């Protein structure tokens, strides 16, 4: 066997691509060739060096992630979840009439049933957040947007005389549900507001925003 072929077989052996017959031929050649034996040792050392490397130290982000997370807050004695569930039950009860009978103060049946379906969806969302409080933060933007749109509609109806102010008090339970959802979600935004209030002191003015 020529040395050139032997060195090819050495590389193949490192990659576990050598058959039994070539293994015997290579061993026979290495027993009588000092140069190829040294080459085989260098290849084996290089293979171990490239495959076995020290583990790189990674930055531990556990504390940073936990500081930015919003764990649910269950309140003293765990009262928030039952209260949130109760608001969901009340809203579900309010949605029954419009959804099933299609009647809201003379509103067309199609529109009434759409309103009832939206209210029932809101009730299910609140009940789900009471059951799985870790999901409250994800539901908060949708529930807040829905209540804001409902509040704007109720205000416009009151100003135009379409409905009496007392009639719009039916939406109070939705406001209570949104607040409870916000509390269970960990009161997101409260820490930032508190930090801003602490930073504004007499004689200092409002701090400039930083990037």
Asked whether residue 21 falls in the same domain as residue 78, the answer is no
Does 83 lie in the same domain as 20? no
- With 0-12 / 13-18 / 19 or more C-beta atoms within 10 angstroms meaning exposed / middle / buried, residue 130 is buried
Q: Give me the pLDDT at residue 27, please.
A: 87
Assess contact for 30 and 13: CB atoms under 8 A: no
Looking at the domain assignment, is residue 112 inside a domain? yes
Burial 17-43 (b: 16+ CB within 10 A, else e): ebeeebeebbeebbeeeeebeebbeee
Asked if residues 87 and 180 have their Cβ atoms less than 8 Å apart, the reply is: yes
Query: What pLDDT is recorded for position 121?
Result: 93
Domain with 87, as residue range(s), is 71-198
Residues 6+ apart with CB under 8 A from 89: 123, 127
In-domain check, residue 144: yes
Tally of domains within the chain = 2
- Asked if 89 and 137 sit in the same domain, the reply is yes
CA nearest 1: which of 18, 23, 17, 20?
A: 23
- pLDDT of the residue at 211: 38
13 and 102 fall within a common domain: no
pLDDT attached to residue 85: 93
- pLDDT attached to residue 209: 45
| 154, HSE (Cβ side, Cα atoms, 13 Å) | 17
Report residue 149 as tokens.
Answer: 């749109």
The answer to whether the beta carbons of residues 207 and 190 sit under 8 Å apart is no
Q: Answer yes or no: is 23 within a domain.
A: yes
Asked if 83 and 185 sit in the same domain, the reply is: yes
User: Are 39 and 101 in a shared domain?
Assistant: no
Residue 62 lies in a domain: no
**Are both 9 and 75 inside the same structural domain?**
no
- Answer yes or no: do 90 and 165 share one domain: yes
With respect to residue 204, please indicate whether it lies within any of the assigned structural domains. Answer: no
C-alpha 204/C-alpha 195 separation (Å) is 15
Residue for token pair 């060739």: 33
Whether residues 25 and 110 fall in one domain = no
Nearest CA-CA partner of 43 in 15, 19, 16, 14:
14
Gap between the Cα atoms of 140 and 152, Å rounded: 18
For residues 88 and 138, membership in a common domain is answered with: yes
> Is 205 part of a structural domain of the chain?
no
- Residue by residue, pLDDT tens for the chain (211 residues) are 788 888 888 888 888 888 888 888 888 888 888 888 888 888 888 887 777 666 677 777 776 766 666 666 666 557 888 999 999 999 999 998 888 888 777 778 888 888 889 999 999 999 999 998 888 888 889 999 988 988 898 888 888 888 788 878 888 999 999 999 988 887 776 665 555 556 665 545 444 444 3
Residue 140 lies in a domain: yes
pLDDT for 83: 92
Do 26 and 83 have their domain in common?
A: no
- State both tokens at 11: 């590389």
The whole-number pLDDT of residue 196 equals 55
- pLDDT attached to residue 192: 58
Asked, for residue 51, whether it belongs to a domain, the answer is no
């Amino acid at each position: 066997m020529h040395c050139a072929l032997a060195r090819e077989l050495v590389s193949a052996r490192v990659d576990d691509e050598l058959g039994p017959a070539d293994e015997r031929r290579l061993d026979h050649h290495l027993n009588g060739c000092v140069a190829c034996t040294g080459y085989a040792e260098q290849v084996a050392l290089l293979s171990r060096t490239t495959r076995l490397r020290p583990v790189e130290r990674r930055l531990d982000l556990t504390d940073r992630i936990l500081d930015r997370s919003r764990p649910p807050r269950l309140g003293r004695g765990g009262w928030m979840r039952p209260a949130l569930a109760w608001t969901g039950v009340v809203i579900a009860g309010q949605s029954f009439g419009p959804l099933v009978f299609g009647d809201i103060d003379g509103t067309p049946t199609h529109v009434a049933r759409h309103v009832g379906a939206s209210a029932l969806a809101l009730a299910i969302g609140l009940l789900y957040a009471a059951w799985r409080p870790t999901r409250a933060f994800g539901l908060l933007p949708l529930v807040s947007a829905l209540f804001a749109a409902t509040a704007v509609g109720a205000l416009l109806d009151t100003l135009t005389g379409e409905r009496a102010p007392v009639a719009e008090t039916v939406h109070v339970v939705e406001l209570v549900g949104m607040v409870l959802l916000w509390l269970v979600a960990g009161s997101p935004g409260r820490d930032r507001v508190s930090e801003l209030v602490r930073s504004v002191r007499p004689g200092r003015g409002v701090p400039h925003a930083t990037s």
